[in-house]
Amino acid sequence: NNVLAMAAGTAALERVLILVFVGWHEITARGVSAYPAEVTEQMIANFAAGGAAINQLARLAEAELRVIPVGRGRPARDFTREPAMSEAGCARAIAIGLEAVAERVDLVAIGEMGIGNTTPAAAMAAALAGEDGARWAGPGTGLDAAGVRRKAAVIDAGLARHRAHLTDPLAILRHVGGREHAAMLGAVLGARRARIPVLLDGFTATVPAALLAAQAPGAVDHCQIGHCSAEPGHRRLLERLGRRPLLDLGMRLGEASGAALAVPILRAAVACHRGMATFAAAGVSR
């Protein structure tokens, strides 16, 4: 595929960069997450201390890990009341993602962390599909059935408030998305510009790529899906994109963990492409 074609010219994917974009969300006050908003800051400290899952997986993948807070102190607004971001704020977040892929690497894996961020992700997916929140809301970090219904109602309220403005993918991003979603969109664009293949993580990381695909066909041909998340909207979104994930292990953590696990699979594909002999070269009888 296109990702392998781009990767095959590199030195066996020696330089792999894992980007984890972190965002904050006022929408958590609506009870859409099983965890309080302060966990986001606590997880940043855990990343820095090397205690998160992605720290271990990045080390196994022999990849550089960068955790990038996006808009610390400026959470995405409650989209049931107002647009989640201003135009300038959304543009700044996209620029952070673009700048994160400024140097040449062989592969970029993109993930996220942010308590409450599956709600804006589901809202963007619902807006793209022209469907309601119930079709896209999932348990996220562990909501029960009542919590998922509450989350769907919050999404529907946001879609109703902004319906007249949800006219194109970038407007959807600004009105009901988050700063980390905008940064991931920017990182995908930056990798495209630099001809760097991308591994996307779960549902929340795939939604910005879906926005780009809706904006311009072929815009995410350089992307592969690392895994299919247990978040139910991810499988539905992949079907809409016509994409198959490399792994399907029922993971739901985020943090680019599924993408990191898929790095060795791409390395194996590149190694076979570069190193295997043809039948003729190997003297295999026809």
Task: Give the H/E segment covering residue 274.
Answer: helix 257-275
Chain-centre distance for alpha carbon 200: 6
User: With contact defined as beta carbons under 8 Å apart, do 197 and 7 qualify?
Assistant: yes
- Compute how many other C-beta atoms are within 10 angstroms of the C-beta atom of residue 107: 27
**Catalytic residue (one of 112, 180, 231, 255):** 255
Biggest CA pair distance of the chain: 70
Per-residue CA distances from 15 to 63, 65, 167, 271 (Å): 7, 11, 39, 14
Could you tell me which residues come within 8 angstroms of residue 242 by beta carbon, excluding any fewer than 6 positions away? none
Per the annotation, the verdict on 255 as an active-site residue is: yes
CA distance 248 to 271: 23
CA distance 98 to 68: 12
CA distance 201 to 199: 7
Nearest CA-CA partner of 143 in 240, 70, 43, 232: 232
Which active-site residues does the annotation give? 255
